[in-house]
Every structure is written in structure tokens, then in C-alpha cells.
Chain A
Amino acid sequence: MKNKKEVNIKLKRGKITGNILTYFVLGISSILVLVPMLWMISTSVKIESETITIPPKWIPDNPTFDSYSRLWTEYPFLTYFKNSIIIVIGAVVLSVFFSCLSGYGITRFKFKGKNSFLTFVLVTQMFPSIMLLIPFYKVLDLYGLKDSLLGMILVYTSFTIPFCTWMMVGFFRTIPLELDEAAIIDGCSRWKAFYKIVLPMTLPGISSVAIYSFITAWNEYMFAQVLITSPELKTVPLGIADLNGFYKILWNDMMAASVIASLPLVILFIFLQKSFISGLTAGAVKQ
């Protein structure tokens, strides 16, 4: 009896130390994550002179949204956003289109070259994208797409197709083949069975693909830096990086631009948290 009590106390004590340790680890890491982000927000609502006070002030004396409004009036961020949005929509639509079709084809049919196609997709995913940088510079020119939004859409789609195809194969596999067969027996054509019956069931997969290509196209910097030369075609990451290059860096404006550029992804995450995570892990867990 006494012994049991001692064990219980020991267990409880272990649990309490475990709890303390857990929250200690979580607390420290959260602070390390949040401090840079809060500092970004804090800087973005300061007037210029307050960004360079010593010691640094977390809460400005005169908080203002001037930096945010300057983004639209004094800098061409409206254009940058428009370009980024067009590119993102294009890349998302094409990625979803390509990967749904090939995902369905791979899981529903037996055909010659199926395994080679799958290996091919996997191998293209392993290519370091830097290898494409120089050729793209020339190849897009040959396609007549150099320095154009359509060119960027295609570039980003080529980044996302391999991984998205893998994701969709994983999602289509979870849907029983009998479903298509039943639909076809009921008089549906292959296409109808595909887009009316099976496709709607892979909606979580489609949203994962959409999110993945959204992030890729919204964040990419290196290829945009090389392939876009006209100022009126620049994307948001290029616009922000430009603020870094000026003779005098206006930190409040730069941080305001950073907040605005990160916002779409954070909002997307809040609303689609579940498919966000499943999309991120689909490739790794299912392979």
C-alpha cells in the first residue's frame, strides 16, 4: 500500500517535471520565433526617426500606418501585387490541372511506360532548380516568353508539377476503383466518371496542391530576379528586395512591405490549416 503511494507520487512528480520541461521548450522556441516577427510589425508602424532610436522601442510613441499607405502611393507595390497575383493564380490553376489529370491516369490505368513515367516524375523533383536557371534564361527566349508573366507562370508550374503529381497520386489511390467502374456501368463516359465522380472526392488533395503551388509562386525570388527585367513586371519579392538596395534603407517601409507580403500566406494558413499540413507532408509520408 505504502509502496504504491510512493510510486504514485514519483509518477506525479515525473509528470510535473515533464510539463515544466515541455512548456519551457515551447516557450523559448516561441519567443525566438515571435521576436523577429513582432519586431517587424513594430518597425512597420513607426515613423522614420523612431526606427533608429537607441535603445530600441517596442511600442512607438506615434504609431502610424503611413508606411503602409506609402507602399501604394510612393512605391509601385500595387503593380507588384497585381503581377504576383496573376502569376500565383496561373501557377495554381495549371498545377491543379496537370497533376489531377496525371494522378488519375496513373492510378486508374495499366499502360506501357507507367513506371518509367513515375520514376521520371520523381527524378525531375530531385533536380536542383539552380540547374535550370541559366537554360531558362535562354529557353524562355526561344519560346518567346522571356520577361513575361506567362513565362513566370510556366516556370513555377514546372517546379510544382512533380511534387503535386506525387501528392495527387497519393490522394487518388485512397479512392476505390469500384467507384469509377460503377459510374461507367451506369453509362458515364471515362471523362464524366473522372470529373463528376472521382475528382470531387479528391478535394483535400486539390487544395493541398493549390496551397503548395501558391506558396512556391508567391515566395520565389531567384528565378524572378533573373527572368524579369521590366520594372512593370516585377513581383512582390523583387519589390521588397529592391527596397534593400536603395542608397538609404527605410526600415519602416521595408518592414511594412514585408508584413503585407507575408499576410496572404498567414491568412491562407489560418483558414486551411489542415490541408496545409497534409499537403506539406503528403509527399514525405506517403512515399
Chain B
Amino acid sequence: MNNRSGTNKTAAFDSRKISLKSLTPYIFIGPALIALIMLVIYPLCYGVFISFFKTNLSNKWDFVALKNYISIFSDKTFISQIWVTLKFTFLVVAAHFVIGVLLGMVLNQKKAGITFFRAVLVLPWLFPEVVVALIFKWIMNPLYGLVNNYLLDAGLINDHISWLGDTRFAFIAVVLVCIWKGYPLVMVNVLAGLQSVSEDIYEAAKMDGANKVQTFFRIVLPSIKPVLTTTLVLDTVWWFKHYTIVYLLTKGGPGSDTSIISIEIYKQAFEYFNFGKAAAMSVIVFFICLVISKLYRRFLDNEE
């Protein structure tokens, strides 16, 4: 009897200890969880909520159901802005990958001075976007900019060109600046991926008589594919929603040549005060990003 009640006691004590113990993990993840709910999930839901209203965010709240979405899709300008954004994102990301993979591979060699080049080539990534935008605005200045002066000197152009104000050049100029700013991310990731590939594999490929092109496509590329896939998704989503550089260079102009979607959302909200419509646009942007990353995953994972 005595003995039995003794075991019961320990059992009860144990179960209390276990329930206390089972709380511990939640204490560890709690702060992050609460912060994410208050600062990401709640605002996101609030954003979706706003998208069903015509509102100035203070005293006027007219429920309009799906009218914001309908007006967005019935408007041709939105479609053309999405198209501009897709074109922008595709060009920027594609160039990042071509340049990033090339430089990553070149930098993965053991040659004199590589450390120096590695440090120099990562520099654009370190510079604030605001600074990058303003440096290039200065370099492309129609009257005193370096670009025009050198091109005039070389006789390649006859007149001062307003690179950011001319509808023929603005889009491509903006794309080039964003390529310059963003390629180091891909380069560094490729480099890190390559360094985790063991030398033996290359040796083995060489012994088996594989040439450089074969080695690249059969050995190098597959071994860094996981890194490339993740980087591709991150880079695409990142530049799809990009704002700062383009806004500071052109404010979306001339006309709507460089009017990528984030700039349009900003203008709708904080220049025209159509908060509902702007919120609806950002919900759509979210779904587009979601679709893009799903497509990537499906396409790249099935390839094997």
C-alpha cells in the first residue's frame, strides 16, 4: 500500500515536471513567434482587409468588396505595368546569373591576386541602394556625366543623351544599374557552392576524359544546382518587388517606361491616396511572387 502510493506520488510529480518541460520550447520560440504575428501576419491580414475598402485610412471606410480588384484588372495600365515589371525582373535576374556564375567560377581558381578581385567584385553589394542610384544618376547626367563625355569623345554619339529621360534608353539604363548592384549575391552564392564541391570529383571527371564544357554541364552545374535554385527564387522575388533604385533614377518615367509595380503601388497609396487600390495591387503582387516561386520549384525539381 505504502509503496504504491509512493510510486503514485512520483508519477504525479513527473507528469507535472513533464508539462512544465513541454512548455520550455515555446518559451524559446515564443518571442520570435509573437514578433512575427504582430509585425508580419497581422499587418498582412490588415493589408488584405484594406484592399476591400475605398479608404483614406482614417475616417473614410467604404466597403467596396472586390471593386478595387475589378478596377485594377479592367485597367490596361496595370497589365502593362506588370509586363514592364516582368521584363525588368527577367532581364535583371538573367544577367545576374550569367555574370554571377561566370565570375563565381573564375574566382574559384587558385591564382595570384584572386583575393583582391574577390573583394573588389563584391563591392556593389555593400553599397546602399540609395547611393548606387545617385552615383549612376550622376554618371549618366546628360551634360556633365562621364558616360556622355566619353561616348562623345569616342565619336560614338553626336549629341548629349539624356539616358534616364529618353524613352529609348531609360528602361535599359535602369536595368543595367540594377544588374550592377545585384550580381554579387549570385556570385558569392555560386562561389560558396563551388567550394563545397570536393576536388576529387573534378579529378575523376578529368581522368574519365571529360572536357571543360562537359565538366561544366555534367559536374559543376548539377552540384551547385540547389544553391542556384534558392538564389534564383530569392533574387527573382527581390527584384520583382524592387523600388529604391528605379524610383530614385526615374520615378517610373519617362511616361511609364520604367514604372515597375512597386513604384505604382507607392504612387497609388502616397500620391493619389487610393490606399484600397494600392493594397489590392500588393495582394496581387504577392500572388505573382508565389506563382513564380512555385513554378521555379516545380520546374527545377522535376528536371532531375
Contact = CB atoms under 8 A, between A and B. Distances in A.
A54 B149 contact: yes
A280 B137 contact: no
A98 B286 CA distance: 26
Contact of A285 (B130, B189, B247): B189
A241 B109 contact: no
A266 interface: yes
Contact of B32 (A98, A111, A136): A98
A258 B36 contact: no
B137 A244 contact: yes
Interface stretch (B10-18, B71-79, B233-241): B233-241
Interface in B1-38: 22, 24-33, 35-36, 38
A254 B286 CA distance: 35
B289 A105 contact: no
B229 to A, nearest CB: 9
B50 A134 contact: yes
B90 to A, nearest CB: 17
Contact of A128 (B29, B146, B237): B237
A236 B138 CA distance: 19
Nearest to A102: B32
B46 A56 contact: no
Interface string A239-264: 01101100000010011001001100
A281 to B, nearest CB: 4
Interface string A137-163: 111000100000000001101100110
A69 interface: no
Interface string A80-122: 0000000000000010011101101110111100100100110
Nearest to A37: B123
A183 interface: no
B189 A26 contact: no
Interface stretch (A2-10, A28-36, A59-67, A71-79): A28-36
Contacts of B157: none
B300 interface: no
Contacts of B191: 277
Nearest to B153: A55
Interface string B145-169: 0100100010000000000000000
Given A105-B25, A135-B44, A158-B39, 4 more contacts: A22-B109, A128-B240, A131-B282, A219-B129
Q: Which 3 A-B pairs have the closest CB atoms?
A: A105-B28, A158-B39, A109-B25
